[in-house]
A and B are shown apart, each in its own frame.
Chain A
Amino acid sequence: MSKLNIKNLIKSFPSMDRPAVNNVNLDIESGELVAFLGPSGCGKTTILKMITGLFQPDSGDIILDEQSLLKIPTEKRGVVMVFQNYLLFPYMNVNENVGFALKMKGVDKNIIDQKVKEMLELVKLPDIGLRKPKQLSGGQQQRVALARALISNPRILLLDEPLSNLDAHLRDEMRDLIVTIQQKLKVTTIFVTHDQEEAVLLADKIALIFDGELQNFTSPKNYYEKPKNIKAAKFFGGVNFINAKKHNDNLSTNIGTVHYKGENYTDLNEDNIITIRPENIKLSKNNDFNDNSFKGLIKSVIFSGTHTRYKIIVNDLELECSLQSVGLQDIKTDDTIYVHLPSDKIWAMNE
């Protein structure tokens, strides 16, 4: 149970023309499961390596339970990292791999054996202790790596792209295992991923990082409903963006005036951008809506199983809408249609 504070962290590499990590501030509460999300090369793994002490920051501080980590060597920090490709030591068997951290601490051999057994049961892999890493499948290697990391009761557990090397069907299993173990041991956990879906499914909170800069640090739900900027919205699958201007407590756009109920109205700039998720847009052939309703033309209809996606042109602006396929009205390409943007579902943000 440890809480982690990252303060004004900056790190540059000679080979890059911008800082790899630029002034990042984060406060992670004890027992939280946090995702660092961003495209590859955004600096998220660099932050992990600074928390472990494998990189030294240029400036800033990393504080674990009110104590700065910077002067403490990696092996004494109690911060354990599980690398993307598991990195099981190839010439040691599973037992030796899992017991490595305790051996480094000089723990009695019998106790190590006992603990190793417990850990392998925790990751649901008893009876493979004598095998070599080569003889294990990818999923098994991942579990052994997890067991190896957890055996010394780390204060912080770091996972670098924990699911990216696994097949789709193994991912669900592994994801459940990580959540179960994390809740059972209550270990503060940070994992790095480039996959927003994975971050949403696993994390209590997501730190979104672009080009070394922290964009936002909040719950997964907020990223969908209340993104902070257009980049964040796009990363989470946002496609509908409408340029807007403040006008009499409402927003005026080139498709007409939009009524807005968001709590951030006073924080908005004169020029801002409206976004709405495709599944929140409603369509009607007859103008059934009295509010935020605009006339448009269907450009394309794509059936994709449970949902059907429509592209609609409203006054030169293209909007995308996704409706449940069940019980659909008969809408075809080139039909004229009324598009409804519910005022409690639209969100405006500064750019």
Chain B
Amino acid sequence: MGGERLKIILSLTPPLLIIFTLFFGGIFYGFLQSLGYQPAIGKYEINFSAYYNVMFSERYAKLFWTGLGLNLWVSFASTFLAAVFALFGALAIRKTFFAKTICNFIYSLNLPMPHLVVAVGIIFVFSQSGLLARLASQIGLIGSPGDFPVLVKDKYGLGIILAYIWKEAAFFFIILMSVLQSLGENFEELAQSLGANRWQRFRYVILPLVMPNLFSASIIVFAFSFGAYEVPALLGVIYPQMLPVMAFEFFLNPDLNARSEGMALSIIIAIIVMILVVFYFWLTQAKIRKD
């Protein structure tokens, strides 16, 4: 009995140690720094001025709130569109047809692709001299590159959204395919025999069945796109700027005082993501209790 407890503790300690010292330690130290505690430059007092500066000071307020708005817009739009794209792809592909295996493979292709590469690919395809612009010019739709709409490094984060759709649609796709496969077609055939048409079968049978998985995958994608750095760093503009990029630039600022602001921003990002996850758990738990 005692031996078993010892075994549990010994087995769990190494990974927990890594997570506690590096991950939680990093967050804790970042939090301390965001409160202005910076022994390296002789600052020991603790206050919330970095948070105030970032959110409300004349210098940064506008940057922060537009950045937050951009963050929310990009995360919502890319999560939603990637999910919709993947849902229709999965629904269409699960039925047998010629080249099903190849299409399956292509739809999952972006899954193991690093985000960085996807961002570069988006530049190659959607920039004003990219593949699409060239195709458009070949069929006479546009003349010079300037005629092609700005889709990469644009104010509205369209390029960032495109990159996330490319990448995360594959993630949604894999999850949906496995759910649909495990469900089989019995429910739909049953619904059809009860007189449900195509739309009704989608709306009242398939959608409720895949929703729990779709929703939890959406939370993962949203949380990720909200805090990731690489894609907005490559595909974003200086203003408005997504929060992770802003935090990183504060941090790399030669003025060490700006570090506190960078840390404060990263803590704000973490808090928003945490609130979202807690809300999600609360929702699912409430649903379980109701059922």
B-contact bits for A5-17, CB 8 A (1 contact / 0 none): 0000000111000
Interface: B1 (CB within 8 A):
yes
Name the residue of chain B whose CB is nearest to the CB of A58.
Answer: B1
Cα(A58)–Cα(B2), bound, Å: 10
Give the number of chain A interface residues (Cβ < 8 Å). 5
Chain B residues within an 8 Å CB radius of A12: 1
Name the residue of chain B whose CB is nearest to the CB of A12.
Answer: B1
Name the residue of chain B whose CB is nearest to the CB of A11.
Answer: B1
Interface: B4 (CB within 8 A):
yes
Chain B residues within an 8 Å CB radius of A14: 1, 4-5
Chain A residues within an 8 Å CB radius of B1: 12-14, 58
Chain B residues within an 8 Å CB radius of A56: 3
A-contact bits for B1-44, CB 8 A (1 contact / 0 none): 10111000000000000000000000000000000000000000
Cα(A58)–Cα(B4), bound, Å: 13
Name the residue of chain A whose CB is nearest to the CB of B4.
Answer: A14
Least distance between B19 CB and chain A CB atoms (Å): 25
The prevalent SS among residues of B at the interface is helix
Name the residue of chain A whose CB is nearest to the CB of B3.
Answer: A56
Chain B residues within an 8 Å CB radius of A58: 1
B-contact bits for A89-124, CB 8 A (1 contact / 0 none): 000000000000000000000000000000000000
Cα(A72)–Cα(B260), bound, Å: 62
Chain A residues within an 8 Å CB radius of B3: 56
Chain A residues within an 8 Å CB radius of B5: 14
Cα(A56)–Cα(B4), bound, Å: 11
Q: Which of B1, B4, B5 has the most CB of A within 10 A?
A: B1
Name the residue of chain B whose CB is nearest to the CB of A56.
Answer: B3
Name the residue of chain A whose CB is nearest to the CB of B5.
Answer: A14
Chain A residues within an 8 Å CB radius of B4: 14
Q: Which of A12, A14, A58 has the most CB of B within 10 A?
A: A14
Name the residue of chain B whose CB is nearest to the CB of A13.
Answer: B1
Least distance between B163 CB and chain A CB atoms (Å): 44
Name A153-198 residues within 8 Å CB distance of B: none
Least distance between B120 CB and chain A CB atoms (Å): 44
Chain B residues within an 8 Å CB radius of A13: 1
Cα(A14)–Cα(B4), bound, Å: 10
Least distance between B143 CB and chain A CB atoms (Å): 66
Least distance between A93 CB and chain B CB atoms (Å): 33
Cα(A56)–Cα(B7), bound, Å: 15
Cα(A56)–Cα(B1), bound, Å: 9
Cα(A58)–Cα(B1), bound, Å: 8
Cα(A13)–Cα(B4), bound, Å: 10
Cα(A13)–Cα(B2), bound, Å: 10
Least distance between B4 CB and chain A CB atoms (Å): 7
Least distance between B13 CB and chain A CB atoms (Å): 19
Least distance between A142 CB and chain B CB atoms (Å): 31
Least distance between A43 CB and chain B CB atoms (Å): 15
Name A1-37 residues within 8 Å CB distance of B: 12-14
Least distance between B1 CB and chain A CB atoms (Å): 6
A-contact bits for B47-59, CB 8 A (1 contact / 0 none): 0000000000000
Name A269-301 residues within 8 Å CB distance of B: none
B-contact bits for A41-69, CB 8 A (1 contact / 0 none): 00000000000000010100000000000
Least distance between A20 CB and chain B CB atoms (Å): 11
Cα(A114)–Cα(B1), bound, Å: 43
Least distance between B181 CB and chain A CB atoms (Å): 24
Least distance between A54 CB and chain B CB atoms (Å): 13
Cα(A12)–Cα(B1), bound, Å: 8
Least distance between B7 CB and chain A CB atoms (Å): 12
Cα(A58)–Cα(B3), bound, Å: 11
Least distance between B250 CB and chain A CB atoms (Å): 50
Least distance between B147 CB and chain A CB atoms (Å): 64
Name B39-90 residues within 8 Å CB distance of A: none
Least distance between B6 CB and chain A CB atoms (Å): 13
Cα(A143)–Cα(B5), bound, Å: 38
Least distance between A12 CB and chain B CB atoms (Å): 7
Cα(A15)–Cα(B17), bound, Å: 27
Least distance between A23 CB and chain B CB atoms (Å): 17
Least distance between A96 CB and chain B CB atoms (Å): 31
Cα(A56)–Cα(B5), bound, Å: 14
Name the residue of chain B whose CB is nearest to the CB of A14.
Answer: B1
Cα(A51)–Cα(B86), bound, Å: 56
Cα(A177)–Cα(B188), bound, Å: 51
Least distance between B9 CB and chain A CB atoms (Å): 13
Least distance between B229 CB and chain A CB atoms (Å): 45
Cα(A12)–Cα(B4), bound, Å: 12
B-contact bits for A130-157, CB 8 A (1 contact / 0 none): 0000000000000000000000000000
Cα(A13)–Cα(B5), bound, Å: 11
Least distance between B156 CB and chain A CB atoms (Å): 56
Name the residue of chain A whose CB is nearest to the CB of B1.
Answer: A14
Least distance between A46 CB and chain B CB atoms (Å): 13
Cα(A198)–Cα(B135), bound, Å: 80
7 interchain pairs, CB-CB under 8 A: A12-B1, A13-B1, A14-B1, A14-B4, A14-B5, A56-B3, A58-B1
Which 4 pairs from chain A and chain B are nearest by CB?
Answer: A14-B1, A12-B1, A58-B1, A13-B1
